[in-house]
Structure 1
Amino acid sequence: MSVERMDGLVAVLDAIRSDNGITQSRLAQRVGLGRTVVAQRVAHLEAAGLVVQDGLGPSNGGRAPRLLRLRDRAGLVAGADIGATGMAVGLADLSGRVVAQVHEQVDVADGPDVVLGRVEELVDRLLAGLADPPPLWAIGVGVPGPVEFATSRPVAPPIMPGWDGHPIRERLSGRFAVPVWVDNDVNVLALGELRTNPAAARAGDLLYLKIGTGIGAGLVSGGRLHRGVNGCAGDIGHVAVAEADAVICRCGNVGCLEAVAGGAALARDGRRLAESGASPGMAEVLAATGDLTAADVTAAAERGDPAARAMLARAGRLVGGTLATLVSFYNPGLVVLGGGVVHAGDHVLAAIRESVYRRSLPLATRTLRIEPSVLGEAAGLAGAVHLALDNLFTPERLARWLPAGSPSGRPELAAAPERVPA
């Protein structure tokens, strides 16, 4: 099939995927192709088993038009959102709707053999739990560290000992015989928000900021995830800030934002305040449990602890100052805030908003909205699923597997190069 015909086919399929239940005439208007061409492309997709006619649209006086829908039950994709201390693994249909999922505590520092071995077990368990499941088509994975997207391999991840250069794609594709894509967790979160939050989709240009154990950002430009040349765009946790010039970060550098405003930093500073007696509330938690977490700090702030509130406000101001630079530089329409530190209370969120609106250029914030994620932790699994789906349906990859009717048994598809946009 020619490049032009394949591009038209993908345009029609994308429109049906994004508006599941669309008439052929509306489809022609959406993609800007003639009705005859659209009819040919729809017939091709129907013959391939990807699109079906299902239901009737409103009539304009004549015969009611048929609605076109994605045949979302033709296959399944698996998603794995691996975090520092927990993970979510799920199965979804071809529309991205999660049909089965499980959440577990995990320590990513246990290494790839332990963690990925458990991912494999959970995917097998979820497949076995479905009645007559369709074949698995692909897998998407998010991990809490830098990833070279072209190879799906982590690169010197600070909190993932033993994962540097690990062949995640090769392991999982060898196990399940499907294409596998891996990305860092913040890009996966941004993608999940983009594909499932209508406000994010409308914004088109957005920035997803995660403040959890670490700090990172996912960038979306023109409705497409921006990874940069090697896949590490948005790694703002290791931007230098003056207030951290004497603090050693877990990456080995000195002065990183994450070292003074991330969840690990909050736990460290909270323990210091508890031990010094500056925070009686956190001292009680430390005495009772022998440890103190970022969640304990935010809980103390919610109970009115002045020291905890001051610490969270400072972290929010530091993050907001760095974010203000990005807002002026990148000019997004929406900033989505996620991660455990943000969802634990309003203290960090308020401080971030104040810093951004005070320090960014007025034009950059004229229509800017800064909102917490509407999906919360579910964004990670949604993003992992859509990471697989988006890559399956690129023109280059669709052209390779469509004649066979399925990408199952074609793990090499993940390494197929994409066409560089003109």
Structure 2
Amino acid sequence: MSGVIGIDLGVTRVAVALLRDRERSEPLVRPTERSDTDALVGQITELVDQARTDDVAAVGVGVARVVEFETGRVVAAGRRPGPGGNGAVDLPLANVPLRHVLEERLGLPVFVDNRTSVSALAEAHDEQLEQVARHLVFLGIGAGVGGGLVLGGRIYRGATGGAGELGHTIVGLDLAGAVPAPMRFPQPGSLEFVASGHALDGLAGQARNVHPKSELARLRGEGKPVLGTDVIRAARDGDPSAARMIEIWGQRIGIGVANAINAFDPEEVVIGGYAAGAGDLLVEAARPLSPGSPRRALRRRPDSGPSRRPSRRGTSSRSRAARGRGSRPPCRRRRRRRRARSAGSARARAS
């Protein structure tokens, strides 16, 4: 069976892995080269050359930007990050036809898509590449908050490729007076502003001040920076103040999950990115804020609704799904059902 190469291209790191016979090689991971476009394309080419074998048939790229899928062009961001925002660095790929550029350099078919969209596609399939969810919302939470949509079994990109930007949705805003004008990115009150990894970093700072005997305060006392990753680790180790920070963070994420449920009526909502490291601590905190949609309550038991879970694959879902098809992989179960229906129709006609 031919292999494919998956590339997870983020702002801070790039990972490249070979996928063959449903098995993924150990990824090659490097800090992302952001000096200019040529340097970044050269880095990608070098990593692919290290990972590729003679039977590689195609390359798929998941990139942390809006992508015009039909052409593989990376769309320029609509606005610059403001002071204090969480987007101070960017990929030097604005308006670059990345598919065409990489196909010329690699001599292989290349498919480029948004990295969170391909993560959603991966989560909609199990490890045997069988589709397990036709309607799924993926929330990727790291330095920012991204979203990916699988609707009707296929990635949904919208008119311009920007669908699923759930981090920009407003989850909390003071509307006692006039609606405040957007002043910077991320906009205050948006899901990304209150629930990204940087927001958890802010909560970590509060925890070390309010709870002087906590594990986080101990780290601070040793002169070490206290970040969201420390909060997650301490919470999983049983530190009560860290667990409280995860609870607050999860409640904020839960508002975004509730909005996604009401907007898309999915079978599953999956939380990925580094937030998946918090596991059930995060999911259980988010669950009370995101009950099943009203329409589901009419069709099912009152306690029923879409499942919410951390990502099965963590960050590996991007390289696994970045096969570049932009739609569902072949599903043997679906083909068997179609063949069975056809055979049944033929028998009925014969009788």
Structure 1 distance, partners of 2:307, 2:65, is 27
In structure 2, what is the equivalent of residue 141 of structure 1?
Answer: 61
Q: CA deviation at 1:206?
A: 1.5
C-alpha deviations, 1:292-315, integer Å up to 9, x for none? 332111112223444322222122
In structure 1, what is the equivalent of residue 95 of structure 2?
Answer: 165
Q: CA deviation at 1:200?
A: 7.6
Structure 1 distance, partners of 2:212, 2:38, is 43
Contact 2:153 2:327 in 1 (8 A): no
> Aligned pair 1:352/2:272, yes or no?
no
- Pairwise mapping of residues 235-246 of structure 1 onto structure 2 (< 5 A)? 235-242=165-172
Instruction: Let me know the Cα RMSD of the aligned residues.
Output: 3.3
SS of 2:312's partner is coil
Contact 1:243 1:255 in 2 (8 A): yes
In structure 1, what is the equivalent of residue 312 of structure 2?
Answer: 374
Q: CA deviation at 1:383?
A: 0.9
- Point out the more displaced range, 276-285 or 373-382: 276-285
SS of 1:88's partner is strand
- Point out the more displaced range, 296-305 or 358-367: 358-367
* Identical-pair percentage: 31
C-alpha deviations, 1:10-56, integer Å up to 9, x for none? xxxxxxxxxxxxxxxxxxxxxxxxxxxxxxxxxxxxxxxxxxxxxxx
- Pairwise mapping of residues 52-201 of structure 1 onto structure 2 (< 5 A)? 72-73=1-2, 76-93=3-20, 97-98=22-23, 100-107=25-32, 112-127=37-52, 130=53, 133-134=54-55, 136-152=56-72, 153-156=74-77, 158=87, 159-197=89-127, 201=131
Structure 2 distance, partners of 1:90, 1:109, is 21
- Pairwise mapping of residues 9-408 of structure 1 onto structure 2 (< 5 A)? 72-73=1-2, 76-93=3-20, 97-98=22-23, 100-107=25-32, 112-127=37-52, 130=53, 133-134=54-55, 136-152=56-72, 153-156=74-77, 158=87, 159-197=89-127, 201-242=131-172, 251-274=185-208, 280-288=214-222, 290-357=224-291, 362-363=297-298, 366-385=304-323, 387-388=324-325
C-alpha deviations, 1:384-405, integer Å up to 9, x for none? 12x2485999xxxxxxxxxxxx
SS of 1:204's partner is coil
Q: CA deviation at 1:230?
A: 0.9
Structure 1 distance, partners of 2:274, 2:212, is 24
C-alpha deviations, 1:100-147, integer Å up to 9, x for none? 3423242465554444322211111122xx4xx22x432211122322
In structure 2, what is the equivalent of residue 28 of structure 1?
Answer: none
Q: TM-score, normalised by structure 1?
A: 0.65
Give the AA of the match of 1:122: L
Give the AA of the match of 1:102: P
Q: How many residues in Structure 1 have an aligned counterpart in Structure 2? A: 312
Structure 2 distance, partners of 1:89, 1:209, is 22
Structure 2 distance, partners of 1:121, 1:367, is 46
Unmatched segments (≥5 aa) in structure 2: 79-86, 331-351
Q: Which has the higher helix share?
A: 1
Give the AA of the match of 2:10: G
Higher relative contact order (Cα pairs below 8 Å, separated by 6+ residues): 2
C-alpha deviations, 1:313-350, integer Å up to 9, x for none? 12211221122122122111122222211223432111
Structure 2 distance, partners of 1:380, 1:278, is 39
Q: TM-score, normalised by structure 2?
A: 0.76
SS of 1:269's partner is helix
Structure 2 distance, partners of 1:109, 1:264, is 21
Q: CA deviation at 1:169?
A: 1.9
Contact 1:200 1:206 in 2 (8 A): no
SS of 2:92's partner is coil
Q: For the pair shown, which has the larger CA radius of gyration, 1 or 2? A: 1
SS of 1:227's partner is coil
Structure 1 residues 200, 348: CA separation in 2 closer, same or farther (over 3 Å shift)? Answer: farther
Structure 2 distance, partners of 1:244, 1:180, is 46
Structure 2 distance, partners of 1:165, 1:219, is 23
SS of 1:79's partner is strand
